[in-house]
Structure formats: structure tokens, C-alpha cells
Structure 1
Amino acid sequence: MSTAPRVDVDLTAFWADPYPMLARLRKEAPIAFVPQLGATVFSKRDDIFVCEKNIEVFSSHQPDGLMNRMMGHNMMRKDGEAHMSERKAIFPAISPKTVKAHWTAQFQAHADRLIETLGPDNRIDFCKGFALPFSAECLKTITGLTNMRFEDMNSWSQGLIDGVANYTGDPAAEARCHEATAGIDAAIDDMMPTLLKTPDQSLLGVLLASGMPIESIRANIKLAVSGGQNEPRDAVAGTVWALLSHPEQLAMVQAGKASWMQVFEEYARWISPIGMSPRRIAKPWTIRDVELEQDDRILFMFGSANRDESHFDRSDVFDITRDTTKSIAFGAGPHFCAGAWASRAMVADVALPTIFRSLENLRLVDDEPVRVGGWAFRGLLNLPLAWGAA
């Protein structure tokens, strides 16, 4: 076990709002052992940025980790050549060129269709009414799993997320994760004959054409489902909420003084939908006078790194004019999120301009509070909005 100072965390409070505790850790114990998580937590941006690239010590390969046990051995839990070979196989489906030339138009079609169903005057939970189906329909298209309902894509994604973040050993979360993996496997099996006969640019189509072993294909499709639904879903809802809560910044974007991409990048820094990434210590190591032993579990807290006062002035404030180049919302090093370009296109290039162009007088509903939750994965739980006549 590491010699890091022990810091106890109230997990209920941490889930509701992790930022006060993360700020305390950055100040008092940048590397701390949290017994409630059974892991040593890294909270400073520079420590995470450097250590994440040191894969010989901070290994993504975790044979007994939750992700391997629940989803299969995917590229996120591999290092070196094993990681890069699978990343290269996936790249043609989600490269910046493919996203721009092939997927963005399909994202726009999904957005336009969903906006049309909302009507000129309405009041809905925007998380469920737009962000959730938009993200899921886009992910169905990218993965090639067009044979499932968007409701299944969302629930199975959440089941995977709950399973791989189930550090407290909740049997209900484990059961939901198993149900999700079974559903995704069945969807893959159903689509395989079509995509083997007629390959396309979807993730499943590209991986089948690459000759990757089927168990690795399944694991990597599940990886795409787990991260590819919640991050864009939560970013769409969250950026809308952030802009409506900061009307002066929305006015800047609508006046052409700031871009939708600036909005997205600042929201990804401010909230960090993917707030944590785990590692395993591959060999003894010492950092900040903390001794780490082989097989110690490490949690890199991206949600803390992106509010590190050393790099971000007034870090708790949403400000689309700030410099976000030091943000590590998508990670760093060899495990930089492969879906980053698709996510940026979905949110900044398609969803945000479509929403604010199409829904006149879009506003928050005052009689229902917006709720936010999570620390490993963080996002809005609801977003009551109205538009049209007041």
C-alpha cells in the first residue's frame, strides 16, 4: 500500500459535489490514499499530466480491474504496442477526417429530426428530450449498432459506466452491467453478417474488416458505448445549462465574439464529464515523497486537474474566454480519448448551434432546480427548459 497520507471521503457528498474535497486535496494532500475508494488519488494537474504518460510505472493494464472483468480487455486497459495496434485499427472510423467528411452530416440529420419533434412551444426535461436521444442516435451510427433503440444504447451505456465505477461492490450495479454487456453482444451478433458482407465506416464495420479477434472487437465496442454516450449527452445538456445560466456569455457567442468550440472546451474543463481514470502501479515508484508499491491502484482525477488553481484562475467559474489549452478533459499521452473529435463535432459543430438557432426564447424553468451528480462520470441529471412564448 502507498505511503500517501490517508484522507477519508464522504462518498455521498463527493458524488453530489466533489469539488470542495478535490480543492482540499490539491492544497493539503495532492497525492492521498482514500480508503473509501481503495485507491491513491492524484489531484494536481501537472502530476497527472506527467504520470499518465509514464506507462511503465502508471500502467493501464489492470488484469483484475473492474473494466476488464465487466467489459472485456479493451485498448484502454492495454499499454505500448498492444494499445497502439488496436488504436490504429479503430482510427479510420473516428479520425478527424472521417468525422468531418462522413459523420458530421449524419449528426446534423439526427439533430434536425429531433429538434423538429419538439415543436415551436414546449417545456421538457432537455436531458431526456434531446441530449439523450441525440447522443445515442449518433453513437448508434458511429458504432454500427443501428439495430438497437436509442433507449437501449443509453441504458446499456449507463449500465457499463455503473459497473466499471462500482468501487463499493454494489451487486445491483454489477447486475446492470452484465445485462448491458449481454445486450450489446446480442446487437453485435445481429449486425455482423450484414457488415461482413458489406463493410462500412462504422466502428464495428472497420474492426471486422481489420481482422481483429472477435473478443477484442466486443470489448472495444463496449468501450465506445460506455464513453461515447454519456460524455456527449452530458456535454450537450451541460453546455446549454451553462450558457443559459450565463446569458452574457451566450450573447458573446451569438454575436460572433466567441465560438461554440470555446463553449464546449470550457465546459469540458469546468465539469469534466469523464472525471477520473484509473491506473495500476507496475513497479515501485516514489513521487512527492510518497512511496507507491507494485499493484497499488491509482485514480487520476481529471475533474480536479481541470480546476487546478496553478493553471486556471478562478477555476470554479465557467468562462468561455479563458485559455483552456492546459485542460486534460480528454486525458493526455497515449491514452488521449480516441473519440474526442467525434464528441467535439457532435456538441460544438452540430448540437449547440442547432439548438440555439431553432428554439426561440430558450430559457431555464425557474420552478424546478437543475441537479448535477457524479465524480468518476459527472453530468446533469435533469434540465427543465421552455421555449417559445413566455
Structure 2
Amino acid sequence: MSNAPHFDIDVPTFWADPYPALAKMRKETPIAFVPQLGSTVFTKRDDIFTQEKRIDVFSSHQPNGLMNVLMGHNMMRKDGEAHMTERQAMFPAVSPRTVRDTWVRQFQAHADRILDELTPKGEADLCKAFALPLSAECLKDVTGLTNMRYQDMDAWSQAMIDGIANYTGNKEVEARCHAATAGIDAAIDDMIPVVKKHPNTSILSVLLASGQNMESIRANIKLAISGGQNEPRDAISGATWALLTHPEQLAVVREEKAKWIDVFEEYARWIAPIQMSPRRVAKPWTYHGVDFEPEDRVFFMFGSANRDEACFSDPDRFDITRDTQKSIAFGAGPHYCAGAFASRAMVADVALPSLFARLKRLRLDEREPVRIGGWAFRGLLNLPVKWGAG
């Protein structure tokens, strides 16, 4: 175990709002062992930015980690050549060119269809009525699992996310995760002969064409689903909420003094949907006076890094005009999110401009409070809104 100073947290409070505790850690103990999480956490942006690249020390290869055990050995849990080989095999499905030439058009079609059905209603929970189905329908196309219902895509993604963040060992959470991975395996089995007969730019199709073994294909598709659903889903609903609660920022966009991509980048900095990335210590290491031993567990807290006072002025403020270049919402090292281009397109090119163009006089429904939670993954739990007259 590392000899980092201990920092105790109240887990329910940390889940509800981790930022006060993280700010205190950045100030007092930037590298701290948190007994309640069983891990040493890095909270400063520059420490994470440099040490995440030290894959010889802080390894993504975690044979006994929850992600490996529950979802299979995917490329996120591999380092070096093993990681790059699988990443390059997936790249044709999520490259900037593929996103521009194929996915944006399909993303827009899904958004238009969902908004056609939603617009006459005048009120909804946008998490469930727009962000969730849009993200899931887009992800069905990108993964190649178009045989799934969007409801299953979301539920199975959430079950895997809950499973890999289940550091307290809740058996019900583990069981839901196993059920989700079984459902995804069945969907993959059904679609293999379809994409072999009719190849396309989906992840399943390009991985099959690359010759990647089926165990890795299954694991990497589960990886794409676990992050590819919640991150854009939570960014869509979260960025919408941020603009509705900061009308002066929405005015900046509408006056064309900022772009929708600025909204996305600032929201991802302000409330990173993926707040943390775990690592396994591979060899003895000393950093900033803290000694690490092999098999220690480390959490790189991206959500904390993105509110580091040393890198961002007034970091708790949502400001779409700020310089977000130092944000590491998508990671900083070789494991930089492979789906970042698709996520940006879905949220900034399609979801946000379509939503605010179609739902006139969009506003919060004050009859129900907005709820938000999570420390490993963080997002809105609901977003009750109204639009139109009244």
C-alpha cells in the first residue's frame, strides 16, 4: 500500500457532490489514500497529465480489475503494442472522416425523428425523452448492434458502468452487470452473419474484418457501449441544463459569440461525465514523496483535474468562453477516448443545436428539482423541462 496521507470521505456525500472533498484534497493532500475507496487518488491536473503517460508504472492492465472480470479484457485494460493494435483496428469506425461522412448524417436523422415526436408534447424529462434515446440509437449504429432496442442499449450500458464502479461488492449490481453482458453477447451473435454479408463502417464490422479474435471483439464492443452511451447521454442533458441555468451563456451562443462545440468542451470540463480512471501500480515508484508498491490501486480523478485552480481560473464556474485546452475530460495519455470525435459530433453538431432550435422557449419545469450524482461517472438523473407557450 502507498504511504500517501489518508483522506476520509463520506461515500454518499461524495456521490452526491465530490467537488468539495476533491478541492480540499487538491489543497491539502493532492495525492491521498482514501480508505473508503481502497485506492490512492491523484487530484491535480498536471500530476495526472504526466503520470497517466507512465504506463510502465501506472498500468491499465488490471487482470483482477472489475472491468476485466465483468466485461472481458478490452483495449482500455491493455498497454503498449497490445493496446495500440486493437485501437488501430477500431479506428476506421470512429475516425474523424467516418464521423463526418457517415455518422453525423445518421445522428441527425435520429435527432430529427425523436424531436418530431417530442415537440408537440410541450413538456418532458429530457434525460429520458431525448438524451437517452438519441445516444442509444446513435450507438446502435456505431457498434453495429442495430438489432437492440435503445432501451436495452441504455440499461445494459448503465448496468456495466455500475458493475465496474461496484467497489463495495454489491451482489445485485454484479448480477445486473452479468445479465447485461450476456444480452450484448447474444446481440453480437445475431449480427455477425448480417455484417459479414453486408460490411459497413460499424465497430463490429471493422473488427471482424481486421481479424481480431472474438473474445477481444466482444470485450471491445462492451467497452464502446459502457462509455459510448453514458458519456454523450450525460453530456447532452448536462449541457442543456447548464445553459438553462446560465441564460447569459446561452445568449452568448445565440449571439454567435461562441459555438456549440465550446458548450460541449466547457461542460465536459465543468462536470466530466467520466470522472475517474483506475490504474494498477506495476513497479515500485516514488512521486512527490509518496512511495507506491506493485499492485497498489490508483485512481486518476479527471473530474478533479478539470477544476484544478492551478490551471483554470474560477474553476467551479461554467463559462463557455474560457480556454479549455488543459481539460482532460477524455484522458491525457495513450488511452485518450477513441470515441471522442463521435461524441463531439453527436452533442455539439447535432443534439444541442437541434434541441434549442426545435423546442422554442425551452425552460426548466420548476415543479420537479433536477438531480445529479456520481463520482466515478457523473450525470443528471432527470431534466424536467417545458417549452412553447404557457
Per the TM superposition, whether the score is higher than 0.5 is yes
CA distance in 2 between partners of 1:302 and 1:197 (Å): 42
TM-score normalised by length of structure 2: 0.99
* Local SS of the residue matching 2:109: helix
Contact 2:119 2:358 (8 Å CA) reproduced: no
Contact 1:41 1:300 (8 Å CA) reproduced: yes
CA distance in 2 between partners of 1:223 and 1:193 (Å): 22
- Residue in 2 that maps onto 1:105: 105
Contact 2:307 2:316 (8 Å CA) reproduced: yes
Q: Aligned runs of 1:43-62 on 2, under 5 Å?
A: 43-62=43-62
2:299 paired with 1:299: yes
User: Offset at 1:8?
Assistant: 1.0
* Local SS of the residue matching 2:369: coil
* Local SS of the residue matching 1:280: strand
Contact 1:45 1:308 (8 Å CA) reproduced: yes
- Residue in 1 that maps onto 2:217: 217
CA distance in 2 between partners of 1:29 and 1:247 (Å): 36
CA distance in 2 between partners of 1:367 and 1:22 (Å): 32
Aligned amino acid, residue 144 of structure 1: G
Aligned amino acid, residue 262 of structure 2: Q
What RMSD, in angstroms, separates the aligned Cα atoms of the two structures? 0.6
CA distance in 2 between partners of 1:120 and 1:250 (Å): 23
* Local SS of the residue matching 1:316: coil
TM-score normalised by length of structure 1: 0.99
CA distance in 2 between partners of 1:139 and 1:359 (Å): 24
User: Offset at 1:217?
Assistant: 0.1
- Residue in 1 that maps onto 2:11: 11
Matched residue pairs, number? 390
CA distance in 1 between partners of 2:35 and 2:121 (Å): 50
* Local SS of the residue matching 1:153: helix
CA distance in 1 between partners of 2:12 and 2:173 (Å): 16
- Residue in 2 that maps onto 1:136: 136
User: Offset at 1:120?
Assistant: 3.3
2:283 paired with 1:286: no
2:38 paired with 1:28: no
Contact 1:120 1:359 (8 Å CA) reproduced: no
Q: Aligned runs of 1:191-340 on 2, under 5 Å?
A: 191-340=191-340
User: Offset at 1:4?
Assistant: 0.2
- Residue in 1 that maps onto 2:91: 91
Unaligned runs of 5+ in 2: none
2:382 paired with 1:382: yes
* Local SS of the residue matching 1:278: strand
Unaligned runs of 5+ in 1: none
* Local SS of the residue matching 2:5: coil
* 1:259-294 CA distance string (max 9 Å, x none): 000000000000000000000011000011000001
- Residue in 2 that maps onto 1:174: 174
2:372 paired with 1:358: no
Amino-acid identity (%): 71
2:146 paired with 1:146: yes
Aligned amino acid, residue 201 of structure 1: T
Aligned amino acid, residue 83 of structure 2: H
CA distance in 2 between partners of 1:120 and 1:259 (Å): 28
Aligned amino acid, residue 92 of structure 2: P
Contact 1:121 1:388 (8 Å CA) reproduced: no
CA distance in 2 between partners of 1:108 and 1:360 (Å): 19
* 1:71-124 CA distance string (max 9 Å, x none): 000000000000000000000000011101110000000000000001335111
Aligned amino acid, residue 283 of structure 2: K
